Amino acid sequence: MRFKLIVAMAEEKWTDALMDAARDAGAKGSTVIHNGKGKGVDVAKTFLGLSLEIAIDIILLLVEEHQSRTILEALEKAGDMKEKGTGIAFQVDVEDAVGVSHQIRELVSMVEEQI
């Protein structure tokens, strides 16, 4: 079984919606890193001329590769990521992973239905 790591970064107000969308799309678990810092293309300015860094959450999802695109699209929709400044999500290949045998048992039947 092959895995992808999906990384989603968005303001904290989107975190619950993103995690719910990922689970509904087939993700079995997630890790959230709170209080990251993010800047978009256009840097927001305060009234003192200082740049304003927006606190973001980083959501990590280790998913089976056959489900990864569906989950990524669900994140885009749930986080309104087509709009500028709402967040970003991407996936990367995972060469190897341990500690996921419990997920593999659940995923086998789901993936077999999809392919």
Edge-to-edge strand ranges of the sheet holding 88-94: 31-38, 54-64, 3-11, 88-94
| Residue-wise pLDDT tens digits, 67-94 | 999 999 999 999 999 888 889 999 999 9
Report, as an integer, the average pLDDT of 23-48: 80
Question: Rounded to whole angstroms, how far apart are CA atoms 96 and 5?
Answer: 11
Domain ranges of the chain: 3-114
Question: Is this model's pTM higher than 0.85 or not?
Answer: no
**For residue 112, pLDDT beyond 80:** no
How would you label 18-44 residue by residue, b for 16+ Cβ within 10 Å and e otherwise? Answer: bbebbeebbbbebeeeeeeebeeeeee
Question: Rounded to whole angstroms, how far apart are CA atoms 19 and 78?
Answer: 9
CATH number of 3-114: 3.30.70.120
